[in-house]
Structure formats: C-alpha cells, structure tokens
C-alpha cells in the first residue's frame, strides 16, 4: 500500500521524537520514500545523522539553507510529498500551524503545501487539555488536518499520567496506510459491525480480579479498520491497553456478564467479531471487602463458568448476525482446536492464533493467524495487527456482499 509513496516527516521538539526513528524505519520497510524536516528543538532529542541514516535521505533543518533554497526548497519539499506527517506535534507546533505562522522550515512547508497533513500530538496532559490547545486542534481539523492520538499513559515528567502521549509508531503507520487505502471507504458502507476487544476483569474482592494478558490491540485494530471501511461500528471493550479508535462508539465494560449485556443491547448488526479474551470463569461469591491475610492460609475460591458470549450470539434465534466471527487463542494444536471451537460455538468463522509466550503475540504488535471456515483453513502470513485487521475486514465485506468465491 505504501510502495513508492512519498512521506514528508516533520519532527517536532518533544521527547517522543525518538519514536520517529522507528516510524521512519517501518515506512521504509513498506516501500515508502521518507524525507524528514527537523525543527530546531527536535535536534535536542534526536540527531539529523540518526534520522538520515534510517531514511537514506538528507535531513532538512534550515529555512535559509543556501543549497536547498536556491530553487525555493521549502515549496518543493512541501509539494513533492504525497502526505505530510507531523510527529511529535507539540503544543507549540500545533499553535503555529493553527495560526498560519511560518517562522521556520517546518511551519513554512506546512503553510506552503497543497497536500494532506496528518499530525500526532504529544505533550503534557494539562497542555493537551488547555482550552487554547483544544481550540487549535479544532481549527486544524476544520482545516482538513487529520489527527492520530494522543494516548493516555505515563509522561516523561515524574509522576505525571494522563492523555498526551504520542500515538505509537504502529498506530501512526496504520493511520498513514488508511489514508492511502482509497477503496476502503466503500467496502462496508451502510453496514453495522460489532466488535468485542480486550480482557475482562472478574472480581475476587474490591482490589483483586481474575484476568488475562490481552492488550486489546487486535480487537481495537479491527474496529478501526471497519470504521475506515465505512461501517457504523460499536466496540465493546474490556479494560484494554489500546486507545479507543476514532469515529467508533466505544462501550467500556469490566466483566464477562457486563460484556454480554452490552453486546445484546447493541444487536442487531450485520456482522459481529468477538476478539475479546473473555475470562472463562469468575468467583462465585466475590467478597465485598478486601480479603485479608490472617495466617490461616490462602482463601478457597469457588469458580463458576462465565456466560459464553460467542455461543450465545451464534445461537440467537432472532438477532443472530449474518456473520459471526470468533477468535481462538491457543498454545498447541492451533488449527485443530479452532476447528472444534467453530463447531461447538456455532459461529461462522474462527480466527486462530498461537499465543504461546515465545510468539510475543499476546500484547505485541504483530500476529500470525489462521482463518477457519466451513470451507477450510486459510493460513495468513505474519503481519502487523493493523494489517491483519484490514485483511479480515476485507474478507468480511466480501462475505457480506457475496463476492468472495
């Protein structure tokens, strides 16, 4: 998708600038040509030498460079690109963009361009929440600038936590790929898709719970891909690490019973994708108070089975979606177990993967899956979770439209 695409990467002066080295590398791996402009402040965090070594191109920093500007280089740079990506987009850089300032090479290129612009904001949570920043972002969106992130998490400042972390390189890459995926917008137009994602937390007492290692990255990527394909998307998510995808209605839940209730409340849909790693069991009688160590040994926990969300929806008599897709996270005999699960649950497809610790899939950014259907097994190559999501969404669209052979 990115082969021969020309990306102009404008690196702002924030601690997240180091992530742009990974972003540039991943863009190059996918066949894109990457040129970089660094602000003066960006040079305090990464060097032109390191950026240039990864892009394989000269790095531009100076508006008044005699060599580059003899042919009005800032105009050429801004218009030879297919997409301008600003990362990290600091509060200062966003403000200068919103007000049309052009006092260095980066802002001059942004003002002179006639090409699309994508920004990845990164700043302290209070700066992100400040009314001035909110106005600037709103103005940029009104001007047609696309925004990815920011995420919530720990800040560089000690003890600071909140919304303001720059989106991860893979998230920015997914936004870039979505920009160039010209046909995606029509694949699921007029369709309603439900996706579940993340783990569930089953309480033991007010401070302890049973859970698993699911990050929610794959389920959230599927929801984002379905939205990019034009669908109306409802995402029912347990406590996931992944940021809520833009343009998607997100319902946050904790337990399996909460998730089932939210799913049933949002039927009917054309297709449902159950990517959540739902806990199989819960404590029969969770304590209302914290369980104390009293020297008498570990407490006895009686477990009961949680509701089977996939099976419940697959066997729904009146509101069963036309296409029901389940996930199977296995550590052995992956395809065999997935085939058995598809029959037991009554769903149409199972997306199976090996989540053994050595694979790094659980919580990682890549995935290797097998699509198990009534017709057989499709072994998909290893890919990023965003790429797996787009492939799955394309298959769902083909199935719903009747065009898949």
Structure-token match 């399996």, residue found: 256
If asked whether residues 219 and 88 sit together in one domain, one would say no
Residue 218 lies in a domain: yes
Residue 1 lies in a domain: no
290 a known binding residue?
A: yes
Tell me how many domains the chain contains: 2
245 a known binding residue?
A: no
Structure-token match 């290692």, residue found: 213
Residue 278's CATH number? 3.40.50.10300
If asked whether residues 208 and 348 sit together in one domain, one would say yes
If asked whether residues 14 and 109 sit together in one domain, one would say yes
Q: How far apart are alpha carbons 198 and 170 in whole angstroms?
A: 18
Tokens of 176: 């870039």
Q: Which residue among 142, 158, 180 closes a domain?
A: 180
φ/ψ of residue 338, rounded to 5: -65, -40
If asked whether residues 396 and 362 sit together in one domain, one would say yes
If asked whether residues 233 and 344 sit together in one domain, one would say yes
**What does DSSP assign to residue 256?**
H
187 a known binding residue?
A: no
Residue 31's CATH number? 3.40.50.1950
If asked whether residues 137 and 215 sit together in one domain, one would say no
Residue 394 lies in a domain: yes
What does each C-alpha distance from 18 to 25, 38, 54, 191, 292 come to in angstroms? 12, 12, 12, 40, 45
If asked whether residues 114 and 192 sit together in one domain, one would say no
Q: How far apart are alpha carbons 43 and 12 in whole angstroms?
A: 9
Centre a 10 Å sphere on the Cβ of residue 335 and count the other Cβ atoms it contains: 16
If asked whether residues 142 and 194 sit together in one domain, one would say no
The predicted pLDDT at position 298 comes to 86
Q: Which residue among 161, 180, 199 closes a domain?
A: 180
Q: Which residues contact 155 (CB under 8 A, 6 or more apart)?
A: 124, 125, 161, 162, 164, 165
Q: How far apart are alpha carbons 365 and 190 in whole angstroms?
A: 30
If asked whether residues 208 and 111 sit together in one domain, one would say no
280 a known binding residue?
A: yes
Residue 48 lies in a domain: yes
If asked whether residues 174 and 287 sit together in one domain, one would say no
The predicted pLDDT at position 73 comes to 58
- Check the CA dihedral 284-287-290-294 and report its sign: negative
The predicted pLDDT at position 367 comes to 85
310 a known binding residue?
A: yes
Structural domain boundaries, residue 268: 184-401
Structure-token match 């082969």, residue found: 3
Residue 112 lies in a domain: yes
Q: Which of 387, 370, 381, 366 is nearest to 334 (CA)?
A: 370
pLDDT tens digit sequence for 58-74: 899 887 765 554 455 55
If asked whether residues 225 and 332 sit together in one domain, one would say yes
Residue 135 lies in a domain: yes
Q: How far apart are alpha carbons 380 and 108 in whole angstroms?
A: 44
Please check whether residue 235 is in contact with residue 219, taking contact to mean a CB–CB distance below 8 angstroms.
yes
293 a known binding residue?
A: no
Count how many residues are written for the chain. Answer: 405
Annotated catalytic sites, by residue?
Answer: 212
The predicted pLDDT at position 74 comes to 58
If asked whether residues 163 and 226 sit together in one domain, one would say no
Q: How far apart are alpha carbons 125 and 166 in whole angstroms?
A: 11
Predicted TM-score of the model (pTM)? 0.62
Give me the residues of the chain with pLDDT under 50, please. Answer: 69-70
Q: Which residue among 152, 180, 208 closes a domain?
A: 180
């Amino acid at each position: 998708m990115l082969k021969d695409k020309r990306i102009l990467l404008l690196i702002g002066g924030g601690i997240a600038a180091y992530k742009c080295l990974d972003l540039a590398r991943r863009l190059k791996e996918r066949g894109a040509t990457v040129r970089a402009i660094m602000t003066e402040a960006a040079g305090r965090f990464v060097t032109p030498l390191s950026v240039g070594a990864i892009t394989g191109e000269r790095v531009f920093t100076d508006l008044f460079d005699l060599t580059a500007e003899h042919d009005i280089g800032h105009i050429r740079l801004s218009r030879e690109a297919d997409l301008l990506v600003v990362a990290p987009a600091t509060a200062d850089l966003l403000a200068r963009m919103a007000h049309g300032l052009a006092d260095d090479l980066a802002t001059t290129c942004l003002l002179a361009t006639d090409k699309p612009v994508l920004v990845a904001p990164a700043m302290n949570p209070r700066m992100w929440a400040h009314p001035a920043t909110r106005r600037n972002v709103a103005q940029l969106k009104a001007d047609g600038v696309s925004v990815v992130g920011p995420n919530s998490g720990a800040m560089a400042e000690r003890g600071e936590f909140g919304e303001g972390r720059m989106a991860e390189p893979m998230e920015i890459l997914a936004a870039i790929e979505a920009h160039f995926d010209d046909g995606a917008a029509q694949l699921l137009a007029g369709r309603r898709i439900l996706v579940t994602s993340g783990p569930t937390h089953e309480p033991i007492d007010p401070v302890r719970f049973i859970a698993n290692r699911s990050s929610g990255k794959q389920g959230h990527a599927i929801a984002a891909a379905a939205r990019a394909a034009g669908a109306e998307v409802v995402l029912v998510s347990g406590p996931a690490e992944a940021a809520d995808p833009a343009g998607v209605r997100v319902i946050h839940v904790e337990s399996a019973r909460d998730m089932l209730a939210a799913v049933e409340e949002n039927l009917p849909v054309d297709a449902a994708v159950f990517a959540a790693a739902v806990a199989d069991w819960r404590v029969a009688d969770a304590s209302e108070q914290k369980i104390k160590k009293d020297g008498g040994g570990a407490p006895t926990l009686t477990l009961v089975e949680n509701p089977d969300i996939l099976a419940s929806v697959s066997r729904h008599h009146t509101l069963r979606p036309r296409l029901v897709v389940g996930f199977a996270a296995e550590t052995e005999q992956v395809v065999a177990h997935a085939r058995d699960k598809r029959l037991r649950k009554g769903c149409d497809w199972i997306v199976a993967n090996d989540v053994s610790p050595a694979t790094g899939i659980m919580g990682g950014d890549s995935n290797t899956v097998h699509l198990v259907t009534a017709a057989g097994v499709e072994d998909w190559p290893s890919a990023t979770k965003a790429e797996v999501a787009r492939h799955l969404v394309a298959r769902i669209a083909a199935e719903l439209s009747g065009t898949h052979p």
